């Protein structure tokens, strides 16, 4: 009998070249297992937004890789991310997606845990010997940190500080959050769907402008002329910038990088009715700021390994298996902002996103086709060389390609390579 080669012994780095990756990256269960350990088990993973756990006692279930977790806010307001697994015999202690509670109780034998994960109650304690130490049997805790409302967690207690990990992406997160239009940004519902394909197919897509006019032609056909021109960004001055650590930004509409810039510009026709409604309650400066915010930003920020701030919403991926990925498209709204503005944001989100949107089903279809096609030509590679050799260098000393360059994918795969080699 031979033992399987331990995952750590394989030469994962050889799977990624600068401009292409091996097809097995989408297909090999051993690679997937190693990714769960070396990437999702180590780095900062996006788990939620602070508006999902607004109050003391608020909780929200989420995932870090394959592992179910609970985000909770304790009685002092401190955030915790806890593995959703009783320390006794592993039953989940919470199956409600979101709510408020004072504790989590295991349904199997009644073990009770506080909001910070500490074990409080064990029924019939006399059945345990004196050396049973409750203080060592709390829910497993992850390291937690928050940047501009986004909650990240890591299984690695020695992980680098979140701000260092985000690095050059931080200014883009700050720009993204300007779509509160002067109000705090809050989550406002979400679409969830899965597709039969590897998680990296979705990771690539968030910085793929090249597919937009092809896959999203029906969406473009449903816009007015002004909107269609705005989304015709392949002809424009957009760019994709490697931000380091696998993060990247794809700027599709450079005029919508900073939503507070140049607010005197004409209000697009499709927002005219909204502006008129807002004028009843807000002065002209606020009206322009809110209208601009409602339209969202002009960029997709991709945060390795599982999150994106995409134009006007959060796009969160969750690996389910080597050939299955679940995706959340989380809508955002202005907390305390005008009802008409928030309703328009919801309608715009429904238009493109979700299992029946005018965009997402076509994305899901081509991602599935990628996975199906990867059954052929195992000797062939996945090409991510578009724009390679044509890039400039950013102020941060990193590559910048034109809007349809695969610079963001190369950035993500280099980070993948770095983490898998550790």
Partner 1 sequence: MNKVAKMTAEITLQDAATFIWHEADILDRGDYDAWLDLWTGDGLYVIPINPDSDDYPNDLNIAYDDAGMRKMRVGRLAGGFAISAAPAAKTVRLNARFVLLEQAEGHALVRSAMHLTEDKFGRQRTFAANVEHRLVRTESGLKIRDKIVRLVNSDGVLTSISYLF
Write out the residues near partner 1 by the rule CB under 8 A.
Answer: 97, 188-195, 215, 217-219, 221-222, 326, 331, 339, 342-343, 346-347, 349-351, 354-356, 358, 360-362, 364-366, 368, 372
Q: How far is the CB of 190 from partner 1 (least distance, A)?
A: 7
Which DSSP category does 136 fall into?
Answer: G
Please say which residue, 168 or 353, places its beta carbon nearer to partner 1: 353
Please say which residue, 257 or 278, places its beta carbon nearer to partner 1: 278
Q: How far is the CB of 136 from partner 1 (least distance, A)?
A: 35
Q: How far is the CB of 25 from partner 1 (least distance, A)?
A: 22
Distance between CA atoms of residues 154 and 414, nearest Å: 20
Q: How far is the CB of 220 from partner 1 (least distance, A)?
A: 9
Distance between CA atoms of residues 355 and 364, nearest Å: 9
Please say which residue, 15 or 293, places its beta carbon nearer to partner 1: 293
Q: Are 343 and 376 in contact (CB under 8 A)?
A: no
Please say which residue, 343 or 393, places its beta carbon nearer to partner 1: 343
Q: How far is the CB of 394 from partner 1 (least distance, A)?
A: 34
Q: How far is the CB of 390 from partner 1 (least distance, A)?
A: 28
Distance between CA atoms of residues 409 and 405, nearest Å: 9
Q: How far is the CB of 422 from partner 1 (least distance, A)?
A: 31
Distance between CA atoms of residues 106 and 91, nearest Å: 7
Instruction: Provide DSSP, 319-374.
Output: EEETTEEEEEEEEEEETT--HHHHHHHHHHHHHHSSTTSSSHHHHHHHHHHHHHHT
Of 249, 208, 172, 129, nearest to 370 by C-alpha is 208
Q: How far is the CB of 368 from partner 1 (least distance, A)?
A: 7
Sign of CA dihedral 416, 367, 314, 221: positive
Q: How far is the CB of 67 from partner 1 (least distance, A)?
A: 16
Distance between CA atoms of residues 325 and 200, nearest Å: 9
Please say which residue, 5 or 221, places its beta carbon nearer to partner 1: 221
Rounded to an integer, what is the distance from CA 283 to the centroid of its chain?
35
Element (H, E) at 317: strand 313-321
Please say which residue, 30 or 346, places its beta carbon nearer to partner 1: 346
Q: Which residues make beta-bridge pairs with 20? A: 383
Q: Where are the beta strands (DSSP E) in 31-125?
A: 45-49, 58-64, 67-73, 79-83, 98-100, 104-105, 112-113, 119-121
Q: Encoding tokens for residue 91?
A: 């039953």
Q: How far is the CB of 33 from partner 1 (least distance, A)?
A: 22
Please say which residue, 102 or 192, places its beta carbon nearer to partner 1: 192
Please say which residue, 83 or 364, places its beta carbon nearer to partner 1: 364
Element (H, E) at 37: helix 29-38
Rounded to an integer, what is the distance from CA 377 to the centroid of its chain?
31
Please say which residue, 7 or 234, places its beta carbon nearer to partner 1: 234
Which DSSP category does 407 fall into?
Answer: H
Distance between CA atoms of residues 374 and 22, nearest Å: 10
Please say which residue, 141 or 211, places its beta carbon nearer to partner 1: 211
């Amino acid at each position: 009998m031979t033992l399987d080669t331990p995952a750590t012994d394989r030469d994962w780095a050889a799977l990624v070249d600068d401009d292409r990756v091996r097809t097995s990256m989408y297909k090999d269960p051993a690679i997937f297992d190693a990714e769960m350990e070396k990437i999702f088990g180590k780095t900062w993973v996006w788990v939620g937004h602070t508006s999902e756990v607004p109050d003391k006692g608020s909780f929200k279930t989420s995932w870090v890789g394959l592992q179910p977790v609970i985000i909770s806010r304790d009685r002092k307001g401190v955030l915790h991310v806890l593995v959703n697994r009783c320390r006794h015999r592993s039953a989940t202690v919470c199956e409600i997606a979101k709510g408020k509670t004072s504790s989590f109780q295991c349904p199997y034998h009644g073990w009770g845990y506080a909001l910070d994960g500490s074990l409080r109650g064990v029924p019939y304690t006399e059945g345990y010997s004196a050396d049973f130490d409750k203080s060592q049997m709390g829910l497993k805790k992850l390291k937690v940190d928050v940047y501009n409302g986004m909650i990240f967690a890591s299984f690695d207690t020695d992980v680098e500080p979140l701000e260092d990990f985000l690095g050059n992406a931080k200014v883009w997160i700050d720009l993204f959050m300007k779509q509160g239009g002067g109000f705090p940004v809050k989550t406002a519902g979400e679409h969830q769907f899965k597709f039969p394909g590897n998680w990296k197919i979705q990771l690539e897509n968030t910085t793929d402008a090249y597919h937009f006019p092809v896959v999203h032609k029906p969406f473009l056909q449903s816009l007015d002329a002004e909107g269609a021109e705005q989304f015709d960004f392949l002809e424009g001055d957009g760019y994709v910038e490697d931000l380091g650590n696998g993060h990247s930004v794809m700027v599709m509409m450079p005029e919508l990088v900073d939503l507070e810039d140049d607010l005197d510009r004409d209000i697009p026709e499709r927002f005219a009715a909204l502006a008129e409604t807002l004028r009843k309650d807000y002065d002209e400066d606020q009206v322009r700021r809110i209208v601009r915010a409602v339209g969202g930003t002009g960029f997709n920020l991709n945060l390795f390994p599982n999150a994106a701030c995409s134009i006007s919403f959060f796009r969160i991926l969750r690996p389910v298996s080597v050939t299955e990925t679940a995706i959340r498209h989380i809508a955002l709204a202005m907390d305390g902002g005008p009802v008409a503005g928030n309703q328009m944001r919801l309608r715009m989100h429904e238009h493109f996103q979700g299992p029946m949107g005018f965009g997402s089903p076509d994305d899901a279809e081509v991602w599935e086709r990628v996975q199906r096609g990867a059954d052929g030509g195992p000797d062939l590679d996945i090409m991510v060389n578009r724009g390679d050799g044509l890039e400039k260098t950013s102020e941060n000393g990193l590559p910048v390609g034109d809007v349809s360059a695969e610079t963001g994918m190369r950035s993500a795969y280099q980070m993948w390579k770095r983490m898998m080699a550790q």
